[in-house]
Amino acid sequence: MYTCIKNARVILPDRMLEKHSILIEDDRIINVFPDDNVALPSDCKIIDVEGKYVGPGFVDIHCHGDKDNWFYDDPVAVSRSHLAHGTTSIMATARLLPTHEEVLDSVIAIADGVEEDPDTTVIGIHMEGPYMNPKYGAYRDRSRIPKREEYYEYLKAGKGLIKTWTIAPELENINQMVADIQAATKGKTIFQVGHSEASREHISTLFPSGLKIGTHLTNASGRFVDPPKFLGTREIGVDESVWLDDGVYAEVIVDYHGSHVRYDMLKLIIKIKGVDKTIIITDSTVAEYAAPPVYEGINDVNYTDDGELMGSALTMDKAVTNV
């Protein structure tokens, strides 16, 4: 079956093509050409997008839900909600819940929901915690030290879908956890540093074990030596460690007002890491609480019951336009 998307502004890696058509056979693009420049197959379905942009789908590697549902509430509804905004591949990100049993149940719910949906856009599960530093992030008191029996249960419940895992490298037992997870998954798990004040040494020690991403940089991150060794100086922290290593990617939450990442900070991150190592994410969460009065009018981020930042109300189409 042939489909032709015509009258499009086609986005390519290095340029945009005005008034072009895209010819698709089954599920594969076979040609891109100027409008009305190629004879189409007689059975071709034509879709006129009337000058709208057409490009690759977005990939969101850090998303907890949409405005109505957490991923564990309804994985199908959440993934389709984000698909409507151009996200064709998404990592269902586990929420930091109060108990092991609640986290486990959420992973089971996500994995079962994905398994039952043949058209899912979910490409994996991102475990954000619970093995993070209890000094950092929303609901930080829910973070804890790794326990072997717990993380093996998460792996089993995930049915092979757990692809990435945010950890705090400075925690007790974390190196053993990383080794166990990599042994169980044959080295296929990607680790992320986040909600952490790990030293450069803590972080670099885990590079050979699959630590490749910094989780939502400049958010919930600190420094291992604080106060600094010498008054008036600055120690290297988690963010700087991620910037320093060319092999590590940097997640950024790009909301409109720069609530998570200030405008100039975003410019600095992109300048250091480059566009190929900077990952735009939504960190989308359910809007459970109203914005505190001081943040009135900022409507693309979410808050805890205490008025702290708790992810965003972004979709990827909005996030990309904010860069």
Domain definitions of the chain by residue range: 2-54, 58-321
Report residue 322: phi and psi, to 5°: -85, -10
Q: Residue for token digits 């860069």?
A: 323
Alpha-carbon gap, residue 93 to 285, rounded angstroms? 10
State the average pLDDT for the chain: 96
- Two structure tokens written together for 247: 């092999």
Lowest mean pLDDT of 22-31, 121-130, 161-170, 188-197, name the range. 22-31
Give domain 58-321's CATH number out of 3.40.630.30, 3.40.30.10, 3.40.50.970, 3.20.20.140.
3.20.20.140
Q: pLDDT tens for residues 235-280? A: 999 999 999 999 999 999 999 999 999 999 999 999 999 999 999 9
Q: Is the pLDDT assigned to residue 226 strictly greater than 90? A: no
Query: What CATH architecture applies to the domain 2-54?
Result: Roll (2.30)
Task: Decide if 318 contacts 253 (C-beta within 8 A).
Answer: no
**Residue 225 confidence (pLDDT) above 90:** no
The string of DSSP codes covering 243-273 is: HH-TT-EEEEE--TT-SSS-HHHHHHHHHHH
Read off the pLDDT of residues 39-84 as tens digits, 9 standing for 90 and up: 888 899 999 999 999 999 999 999 999 999 999 999 999 999 999 9
Residue 227's pLDDT is 86
Q: Which two tokens stand for residue 317?
A: 């189409």
